[in-house]
């Protein structure tokens, strides 16, 4: 109770002082009248003691102290000096602007342009450099490679830095995971698809759509739940599983009219019937910043059906996957990177056979990964313009600093 009373009393004093700032003239006049009254009474008392009028006034002034100092002390007690100074500066500035309308117009225009340009620049910087993926705790995410280029690599294992992995390598990392809450793979790129809905006439042309192949734990690792239905499960990403798909919220609204009955609806994708099991939440677009979401997410094990080509699941020389992973609490990106380096070499040694050649041993020892922060996802714009935008941000900061110093 005592603390509440003290707080209320402090608020009353603050309110009184703020009122004093805007009624300072009346308060000064009242205080001056009080001073004049005290001065007159002291002067009369001194005259009664036998002083002349001039000596009586001088003695009264000395007894009261400096008049200017008293007035300043009274203002400090009943007002807020810094706020009074600010109000005075604003009044002075407004008077100067009224006297120079041309200068005022130029000043306002300059400020408007400066604010507009800085706002536009910051908006671009925020969208390209600062904005995080719309997922749970994005700062915990790491990427194998944040380069926006798509496609795959074929042939012998990479010597040096690994920027893509095969299905076998992904399974090895996932099965021997020690650093991550989960590690999810996704195809480097999106695949065009032909969509047909059951019941459509045979002469009706198929609709074009885009799909992305992802591992069964993709949504779980990102911390994304379905807006309706369910997300993928690990059991959806095995060769014996039934073909299922998660549709993007945008496609659901655009092509399916936001119909809740779309869940469990069948759809023909590139000649294979899939069942829609879930609808992604609004605003979720995947791991690629600045791009619309794919229309469908599909399990990796259906790569042959979606891409209409031989299986890359059994091809050890096809490197077509990237991965995004969520660090365990207390594990840093560099620590996880060190563990993966060891596991990568162990994987390559298991693939090389019992008696690898000297060149193979050397290549294995040169293989490594370089994990990148995953909170900002993969961005083509960031890859192109991050350096110019950082320079521009520095220039803007210097300009603003110069304006402040002026």
Tell whether 193 is covered by a domain.
yes
Tell whether 6 is covered by a domain.
no
Higher pLDDT, 153 or 64: 153
Tell whether 309 is covered by a domain.
yes
Say whether pLDDT at 43 is over 80.
no
> Of 73, 95, 117, which closes a domain?
95
- Mean pLDDT across the chain: 82
Does residue 107 share a domain with residue 84? Answer: no
Rounded percentage of the chain residues whose pLDDT exceeds 70: 74
The pair phi, psi for residue 45, each rounded to 5°, is -65, -40
Higher pLDDT, 126 or 376: 376
Tell whether 2 is covered by a domain.
no
Tell whether 3 is covered by a domain.
no
Tell whether 7 is covered by a domain.
no
For Cα atoms 211, 215, 220, give the angle at the middle one, nearest 5 degrees.
Answer: 105
Tell whether 241 is covered by a domain.
yes
CA distance linking residue 14 with residue 23, whole number of Å: 14
Does residue 164 share a domain with residue 86? Answer: no
Does residue 296 share a domain with residue 162? Answer: yes
Does residue 145 share a domain with residue 205? Answer: yes
Report the domain count for the chain: 3
Say whether pLDDT at 17 is over 70.
no
- 299 three-state secondary structure: strand
CA distance linking residue 111 with residue 89, whole number of Å: 19
Does residue 108 share a domain with residue 241? Answer: no
Does residue 145 share a domain with residue 123? Answer: no
Does residue 231 share a domain with residue 304? Answer: yes
Q: Which long-range contacts (CB under 8 A, 24 or more apart) does 383-390 make?
A: 383/146, 383/147, 383/148, 385/128, 386/128, 386/129, 389/124, 389/125, 389/128, 389/129, 390/129
Does residue 161 share a domain with residue 65? Answer: no
Retrieve residue 236's tokens.
């959806």
Does residue 89 share a domain with residue 31? Answer: yes
Residue 359 CA from chain centroid, whole number: 45
Does residue 112 share a domain with residue 88? Answer: no
Looking only at the bridges linking them, the beta strands covering 321-327 and 141-143 are antiparallel
Where do we find the tokens 């779980």? 220
Does residue 369 share a domain with residue 228? Answer: yes
- Residue 319, class by beta-carbon neighbours within 10 Å (0-12 exposed, 13-18 middle, 19+ buried)? buried
Tell whether 239 is covered by a domain.
yes
Strands, E assignment, 233-300: 244-247, 266-269, 272-279, 296-299
For residue 360, what are the domain limits? 138-375
Does residue 148 share a domain with residue 118? Answer: no
| Interval 339-397: pLDDT, tens | 999 999 999 999 888 888 888 899 899 999 999 999 999 986 666 666 776 777 777 66
pTM of the model: 0.69
Residue 235 CA from chain centroid, whole number: 33
């Amino acid at each position: 109770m005592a603390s509440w009373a003290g707080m209320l009393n402090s608020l009353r004093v603050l309110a009184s002082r703020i009122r004093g700032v805007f009624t300072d003239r009346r308060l000064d006049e009242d205080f001056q009248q009080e001073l004049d009254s005290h001065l007159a009474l002291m002067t009369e008392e001194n005259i009664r003691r036998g002083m002349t009028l001039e000596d009586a006034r001088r003695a009264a002034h000395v007894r009261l102290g400096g008049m200017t100092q008293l007035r300043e002390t009274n203002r400090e007690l009943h007002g807020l000096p810094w706020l009074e100074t600010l109000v005075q500066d604003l009044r002075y500035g407004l008077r100067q602007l009224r006297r120079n309308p041309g200068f005022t117009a130029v000043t306002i225009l300059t400020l408007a342009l400066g604010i507009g340009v800085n706002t536009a620049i910051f908006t671009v910087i925020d969208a390209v450099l600062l904005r995080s993926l719309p997922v749970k705790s994005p700062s915990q995410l790491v990427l194998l490679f944040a380069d926006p280029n798509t496609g795959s690599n074929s042939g012998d294992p990479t010597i040096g830095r690994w920027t893509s992995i095969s299905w076998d390598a992904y399974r090895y990392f996932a099965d021997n995971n020690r650093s991550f809450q989960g590690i999810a793979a996704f195809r480097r790129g999106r695949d065009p698809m032909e969509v047909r809905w059951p019941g459509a006439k045979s002469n009706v042309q198929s609709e074009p759509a885009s799909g992305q192949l992802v591992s069964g734990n993709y949504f779980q690792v990102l911390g994304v739940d379905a807006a309706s239905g369910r997300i993928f499960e690990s059991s959806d990403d095995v060769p014996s599983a039934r073909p299922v798909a998660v549709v993007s919220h945008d496609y659901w609204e655009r092509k399916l009219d936001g119909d809740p009955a779309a869940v469990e609806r069948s759809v023909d994708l590139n000649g294979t019937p899939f069942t829609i099991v879930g609808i992604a939440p609004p605003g979720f677009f995947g791991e690629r910043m600045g791009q619309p979401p794919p229309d469908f997410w599909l399990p990796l094990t259906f790569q042959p059906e979606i891409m209409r080509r031989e299986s890359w699941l059994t091809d050890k020389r096809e490197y077509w996957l990237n991965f995004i992973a969520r660090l365990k609490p207390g594990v840093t990106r560099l620590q996880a990177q060190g563990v993966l380096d060891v596991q990568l070499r162990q994987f390559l040694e298991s693939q090389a056979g019992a008696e690898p050649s000297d060149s193979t041993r050397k290549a294995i020892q040169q293989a490594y990964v370089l994990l990148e922060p995953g909170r900002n996802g993969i961005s083509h714009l960031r890859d192109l313009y991050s350096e110019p935008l950082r320079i521009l941000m520095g220039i803007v900061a210097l300009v603003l600093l110069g304006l402040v110093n002026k």
